[in-house]
Amino acid sequence: PFMIAFKVNFGFLFALIIGIAQLIPVVGATLGIGLVTLLILFQDAWLALNIFVIAVVLQQIKDNVLTPKLLGDLMGVNPLWQFIALLIGGRVAGFLGILLAIPLAATLKTVLESEPVEDT
């Protein structure tokens, strides 16, 4: 919507580029926003700065507010524990550890909270 509000030429395409770039873990958002800002820079420098600032603010809100909340609701892991799991996962196994940290934390939480099975 902000691309339309600022009357950016090819705004939908640029928004699509940013969205597709989000699929690349860790650096996707930076690459997408950087590429779109560079392309808009050819139209107007002031417009490029405005779009850059808005895109970065929206990205930060998504990454730091919405994603932890949604993951917490979906996987049942508190955002604080998600952060701790990411730190531990990165320290123990690097990039792969970061990718697997939250699913492993959710699995561990489920196992620890489950009732013991009684033998009959």
pLDDT tens per residue, range 22-31:
888 778 889 9
The mean pLDDT of 1-13, rounded to a whole number, is 83
Confidence of residue 99 (pLDDT cuts 50, 70, 90): confident
pLDDT of residue 39: 93
Query: Which residue, 19, 36, 64, sits at the end of a domain?
Result: 64
Evaluate whether residue 90 is within a structural domain: yes
Looking at the fold, whether 59 and 81 belong to one and the same domain comes out as no
- Number of domains comprising the chain: 2
100, pLDDT greater than 80: yes
pLDDT in tens, 41-95: 998 999 999 999 999 999 889 888 888 788 777 777 888 888 899 899 999 999 8
Domain membership flag for residue 9: yes
Q: What is the 3-state secondary structure (H, E, C) of the chain?
A: CHHHHCCCCCHHHHHHHHHHHCCCCCCHHHHHHHHHHHHHHCCCHHHHHHHHHHHHHHHHHHHHHHHHHHHHHHHCCCHHHHHHHHHHHHHHHHHHHHHHHHHHHHHHHHHHHCCCCCCC
